[in-house]
Amino acid sequence: MNTSVLRWLLSPRTSWHAWRVARASHGNLTFDAAWRRTRINIHPDEKPYQRHGHLPNG
């Protein structure tokens, strides 16, 4: 299943806000980046997970 679809199903509020942020950026921000930014704004306690998946293995 596509990550974006999974995010819409599990967290529609965050996804709706992220979609609006990505659309307002006129292509300068991906939905994935907007989703992560929005998620931290709505749930600041999840800040440690923001960069998960973006760090090199090791």
List own/partner pairs for 6-12 with CB under 8 A and 24 or more apart.
Answer: 7/35, 11/39
- What pLDDT is attached to residue 48? 80
The Cα–Cα gap between 57 and 3 comes to 20
- What pLDDT is attached to residue 8? 84
55 or 31: which carries more pLDDT confidence? 31
Residues 4-53 pLDDT 10s: 788 888 889 999 999 999 999 999 999 988 998 999 999 899 888 776 65
- What pLDDT is attached to residue 56? 61
- What pLDDT is attached to residue 34? 92
CA angle at 15 for the pair 7 and 21, rounded to the nearest 5°: 140
